[in-house]
C-alpha cells in the first residue's frame, strides 16, 4: 500500500454527485462536460443543471458577463445538452439573448437579469423581439438588477 493512489474516477457515482453538488455548477459543467461518458451522465442529473447563473461576480460584488470563450462553449456545447433540465437562469443582461437562443428551454420558469440598462430592456421586452413569447408565456418569476450610474445597484423583483 506504499504507492496506493485513488483517483476521482475511482469514486462511486453517488459520492461524485455529493461532491459535485458542493461545487459551483457553472465551473463544474465547463470543466467536466465531455471529459468522459460517466461524467456526462452524472452532470445531466437535473439538480446539477436546473439552476444556471452564467455571469461573473468580482470581489467587490460587481457583475460582469462571462468571457466570450466561456459563453461560446456554454451556448454551443453545454446548453444544448442540458437545456431540458434548466428551470432557472441568471445572466448578465447583455448575454441573455445569446443564451436564450442557444436552445429551447421547456422547463424554464425563472429568470434573473443583472446589469439591466434602459436600452437593453427596451430591446428585450419589445413586442418584435423573438424572445417575447418566452417572457410572456413561460417566465413566472423575473428578477431584474438595474444598473444606474446615479444610484448604486438595486434589485427589483417582478412576479408575473
- pLDDT tens string 88-142: 999 999 999 999 999 999 999 999 999 988 888 888 888 888 888 888 889 999 9
The pTM (predicted TM-score) of the whole model is 0.81
Residues paired with residue 154 on neighbouring β-strands, in sequence order: 146
* Percentage of residues in the chain having pLDDT higher than 90: 47
Q: What is the mean pLDDT of the chain?
A: 86
Which residue range forms the structural domain that includes residue 77? Answer: 49-159
Q: How many domains does the chain have?
A: 1
Least confident of 31-35, 64-68, 133-137: 133-137
Output the pLDDT for position 160. Answer: 54
How many C-beta atoms surround the C-beta of residue 73 within 10 A? 17
Residue 87 has pLDDT above 90, yes or no: yes
Distance (Å, rounded) from C-alpha 30 to C-alpha 78? 8
Judged against a pLDDT cut of 60, whether residue 55 lies above it is answered with: yes
How far apart, in Å, are the Cα atoms of 28 and each of 20, 48, 74, 75?
7, 9, 12, 15
Residue 77 falls inside a structural domain:
yes
- The pLDDT value recorded for residue 98 is 94
Rounded to a whole number, what is the largest CA-CA distance in the chain? 68
Q: Judge whether 117 lies within some domain.
A: yes
In a domain, 143, yes or no: yes
Residue 34 included in any domain: no
Is there a domain that residue 12 lies in?
A: no
| Residues 6+ away with beta carbon under 8 Å from 123 | 129
In a domain, 41, yes or no: no
| Residue 19 within any structural domain of the chain | no
Rounded to the nearest 10 degrees, how much is the dihedral formed by the CA atoms of 56, 57, 63, 69? -10
Average pLDDT over residues 55-77: 89
Q: Does 20 have pLDDT greater than 80?
A: yes
Give backbone dihedrals phi and psi of 61, rounded to 5 degrees, phi first: 65, 25
Average pLDDT of span 138-150: 81
Residue 129 has a pLDDT of 82
- Per-residue confidence (pLDDT) for residue 159, from 0 to 100: 53
Residue 155 lies in a domain: yes
Amino acid at each position: 500500500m506504499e504507492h496506493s493512489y485513488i483517483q476521482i474516477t475511482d469514486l462511486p457515482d453517488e459520492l461524485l454527485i455529493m461532491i459535485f453538488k458542493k461545487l459551483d455548477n457553472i465551473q463544474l459543467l465547463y470543466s467536466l462536460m465531455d471529459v468522459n461518458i460517466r461524467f456526462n451522465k452524472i452532470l445531466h442529473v437535473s439538480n446539477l443543471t436546473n439552476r444556471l447563473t452564467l455571469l461573473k461576480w468580482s470581489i467587490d460584488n460587481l457583475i460582469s458577463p462571462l468571457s466570450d470563450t466561456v459563453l461560446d462553449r456554454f451556448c454551443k456545447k453545454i446548453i444544448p445538452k442540458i437545456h431540458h433540465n434548466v428551470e432557472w437562469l441568471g445572466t448578465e443582461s447583455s448575454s441573455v439573448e445569446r443564451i436564450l437562443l442557444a436552445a429551447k428551454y421547456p422547463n424554464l420558469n425563472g429568470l434573473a437579469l443583472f446589469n439591466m440598462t434602459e436600452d437593453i430592456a427596451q430591446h428585450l421586452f419589445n413586442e418584435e423581439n423573438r424572445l417575447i413569447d418566452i417572457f410572456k408565456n413561460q417566465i413566472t418569476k423575473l428578477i431584474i438588477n438595474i444598473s444606474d450610474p446615479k444610484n448604486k445597484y438595486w434589485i427589483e423583483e417582478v412576479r408575473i
